[in-house]
Each structure stands twice: as structure tokens, then as C-alpha cells.
Amino acid sequence: MTDFSTSRAPSLAPALRSELRGWALVAVGSLAVAGALALLLVLSRVPATQVLLPWSWQSFFYTALVTHVILSFVVWFLAVLGALAVLAVADAPARRLEALGPWGLWAAAAGSALLVVPALLNVGEPQLNNYVPIVVHPLYYLGLALVGGGVALPVLRLLANPSGLRSVWGFAVGVSGVCYLIALVYFALAGLALPAGLDYETWNERLFWGGGHVLQFVNTALMLAVWALLAERALGEPPVPASLFRLLLGSMVVFSLAGLAFYGMFDVLGLEHRLAFTDLLWYGLTPPPLVIGIGLAALLWRRRAALTGSPAVLGLGISLAVFLVGGLMGFFLGASDARTPSHYHSAIGGVNLTFMALFVAVVLPELGRPLLERTKRARWLGRSQFHFYGWGQLVFSIGMFVAGAAGVPRKTMGAAAQGLDSPLKKIAMGVYGLGGALAVLGGVLFIWLVLGRLLARREEAGHE
């Protein structure tokens, strides 16, 4: 089987290729900065090195933590939506609202930079609320608004050119975009409904609660879009029949829209509002990835010989395994133990692996900047990023799940606070640490390899 990640010539027009590169730089660049902040977080907790930081480590830690999360779980995902919107709109023969794409890219890039400023200056009050953590500072809010509005512009351009939605993967990108716009509406409705005088912690938590849940529909639809795109290009067919795929993805829009009623039925500060969105996520988000994931697993089994020949299909297979294990963990959660983070770390890890395969197999070749696999070392590195990150994330999550089942609480640090009073708990946390180290290594490899190709001065000969 031919590896299309290196053989496929770019098909995008120069303007769209430039825009795609911009979104790719925002996406991978946000991961690189998030990784640097993670290193600073580690240094800030080590007595021997925390004194070397130019800030008070006590105040810096949580500000940097919020910025790390917003870059690695929000900006990264939304920039992938921007990139996929570019790829999908390329199928539209006569594009309307063409200027929205570049404007959105510049807004998102500027917003991403502003999000980092409070951490670098060590200013603002960090708020570790769900889904969209906040640093209470005008520059951070401005950055968040620019990123949110910037990503919306290429989405609107795609929806204005419906011929870009004809393929199954393009339809999934459109669904993700529609869900994203719905999430923005929910943020606005919550902001209008919240009473004046609330403390920042409560205000931010309730502002992003409903829309934050819908962002999970956005991320899942993006993952399903990439599953379909990679399956189509690498294996020649979608994971499930096109009609079933569209039906499942369409149901995600229906469930996302259903949340609109919650703003009229319930007080945004009430428990009913919180539980309604929790149920919405549980019932609306489970069927599409489950059914499509089973179809993809069957397709990969039939074409299992390709798993050793193509980095794209390798990443696709590992991402499916990690995501489905995370989904299975979701049926056995505890109230406040480490099983809950084990579930979402595995699910997010599966999404991340899917996007890693997207960059290696589609984005870089479309930019004329494929990963060069001319030597045995280069081929090993190209595949190792998926193995290290994927299996590391799986081991990490399983260790955390076992620890949680044994009684280790979430959001705690240190042996005493975590109650590591039995061999099982200690072994499980050791496994957790080993898996985390492997996953970090895979993430570093991905950033190094892909960012290096994105920043290369010239495209590869034969790909111009």
C-alpha cells in the first residue's frame, strides 16, 4: 500500500495553502508553548529550582496551569477546527465570503498570543473552572474573545459554501462548526442570564458550563471527521455507510440545539441546569463515536496489513483503541476519585492522537512539507510519536483508573493527601507515572517533527 502521507501532492490553491499553514502553526505552536509552561510548572514545584524563577512561584503556578490547559485543550482543538474548515472549503468551486478565513486566522493568532501574556507577567487571578479555565485579567478575556471569534469566521465561510460539506468528512466538519456556533450562543445566553455581583469563580463556572458541554460535541465531531478523512484516503472507504454516518453526526446537532431549552427552563445558577447539560452529554455524545468506532475497528481489522505500512493508519488505529478505552472507563466513574480524570484523559488522548495523524498524513503533505522518511531513523521517529503518546496515554489512564478504584482521590498531590497506604495504590500510581512520561515523550516528538516541517523555509521539491 502506498503511504499517501509522503506521496500525495498538495491540491490546495496557494491562498488556502497559506491559510492552512497559519492554522497549523497556531495549533502546534499552542502545544509547544503549553509544553514550555508545563516545564515551568515542574520547576516551580521543585525547591531547588523554584527560586530561579523571576516570579513568586506560589502565584505563578496556577496562572501558568490555567494557560497550559487553555492552550493544550482549547486553542489546540479549535485551531484544528480552523484547519479542517480550510480543507473542507477547498472542495467548493466558487467560494463565497473568502476573506473571512484570513481574518479569522489573524484574530485567532493574536488572541492566542494574548492568552499567554498574563502568565508571563504573572498577573491576574486564575480560576480553575470546568471546560474553559480563566485568568481574570482584561488581556486574557480579550484573547479568549479573539480566539473564539476568529475560529467562527472560517466556520461561517464553510457553511456559506455548502458544496464543501458533500463528503462524509466534510459534513462532519460542518457539524462540528455548527455545534461550535451553538456553544458561542450558549456562552452569550449564560452571560445575559447571570446576575450582577457574583464572585468571579461562580460567574466563570456558570458562564462556560452549558457551552463547555457543547464544545465536547465539537471535539468529538472533529475526531470523527478525521477518522472518516483518513479512512477515505488511506483505506479507500468510510468507517460506516455514508447515510448512517450523516445520521449519527446530524444527531449531534439536534442534541446540541436541545440545550437551548435549558436556558428558558432552568436558572443558570441552579442544580437542574447543571444536571440537564450533564445528561445531554451522556445521552447525545455516546452513540456516534461508539457506532462509528465499531465500524472503524472492523475496517481496520479487514485492512490490518496497512497498520504496519502507513503512519497515518497506525495513528488511526491507536487513537481508536485509546478513545474507546476512555469511553469504557466512563461507565465506571467514582464520585470524586481518580477514575474521573482517567476517563477524560484517555478520551482526550484518543482525540489528540487522531489530530496527530491528521497533521502527519494530510496537513503536512497538503502544504508540500511532508515528514521525510528517507532513512530508517526518520521512519522510526515518524511512527514512534504515535506509539509513545498512544500507549503511554493508555498506561497512564489505566494506572489512574486502578488507583481511583482503590480509593485515591482526584486533584490531590503527595503521598499523604492521596492516601497511598497500600501496595496496590503505590503500584497503580507508579504505572500512572510511567505512562505519563511515555506520553510526554510522544508529544515532544510530534511537536518537534511537525513544527520543524511547518517552519522550514521551503516546500519540498515536487510538492510545489
- In sequence order, which residues have a C-beta less than 8 Å from that of residue 30 and are 6 or more positions away? 71, 72, 75, 76, 79, 112
User: Residue 118 pLDDT more than 50?
Assistant: yes
* pLDDT of the residue at 427: 72
The domain spans of the chain are 310-464
User: Residue 398 pLDDT more than 90?
Assistant: no
* pLDDT of the residue at 13: 86
User: Residue 262 pLDDT more than 50?
Assistant: yes
DSSP class of residue 409 equals B
Q: For the domain bounded by 310-464, which CATH number is listed?
A: 1.20.120
Q: What mean pLDDT comes out for the span 114-133? A: 91
Task: Give CA–CA dist 132/115, Å, rounded.
Answer: 12
Task: Give CA–CA dist 464/461, Å, rounded.
Answer: 6
* pLDDT of the residue at 245: 97
pLDDT tens, position by position, 351-379: 999 999 999 999 999 999 988 766 677 77
Q: Choose the weakest-confidence range: 56-70, 252-266, 435-449.
A: 56-70
Long-range contacts of 130-133 (CB under 8 A, 24+ apart): 130/205, 130/208, 130/209, 130/212, 131/208, 131/209, 131/211, 131/212, 131/213, 131/215, 132/70, 132/74, 132/204, 132/208, 132/212, 132/215, 133/65, 133/66, 133/69, 133/70
pLDDT tens, position by position, 176-198: 999 999 999 999 999 999 998 89
Q: Choose the weakest-confidence range: 51-55, 60-64, 86-90.
A: 51-55
Task: Give CA–CA dist 250/240, Å, rounded.
Answer: 15
Q: Choose the weakest-confidence range: 186-190, 282-286, 394-398.
A: 394-398
> Treating both helix axes as pointing N-terminal to C-terminal, what angle do 311-329 and 287-302 enclose, rounded to 10 degrees?
140
Q: Name the most confidently modeled range: 92-96, 185-189, 343-347.
A: 185-189
Q: How confident is the model at residue 338 (pLDDT cuts 50, 70, 90)?
A: low
pLDDT tens, position by position, 215-258: 999 999 999 999 999 998 888 888 999 999 999 999 999 999 99
Q: Name the most confidently modeled range: 60-69, 73-82, 387-396.
A: 73-82
Burial class (CB in 10 A: 0-12, 13-18, 19+), 424: middle
DSSP class of residue 160 equals T
* pLDDT of the residue at 461: 45
User: Residue 62 pLDDT more than 70?
Assistant: yes
Q: What mean pLDDT comes out for the span 125-146? A: 94
Supply φ then ψ for residue 129, to 5 degrees.
-80, 170
Supply φ then ψ for residue 337, to 5 degrees.
-100, 180
Percent of the chain whose pLDDT exceeds 90 = 53
pLDDT tens, position by position, 405-449: 766 655 545 444 455 556 766 677 677 777 778 888 888 999 999
* pLDDT of the residue at 383: 84
Question: To the nearest whole number, what is the mean pLDDT of the chain?
Answer: 85
Nine-digit cell at 379?
A: 521512519
Dihedral of alpha carbons 260, 265, 266, 272, sign = negative
Q: Choose the weakest-confidence range: 11-25, 105-119, 249-263, 305-319.
A: 305-319
* pLDDT of the residue at 409: 59
Percent of the chain whose pLDDT exceeds 70 = 83
Q: How confident is the model at residue 95 (pLDDT cuts 50, 70, 90)?
A: confident
DSSP class of residue 464 equals -
DSSP class of residue 8 equals P
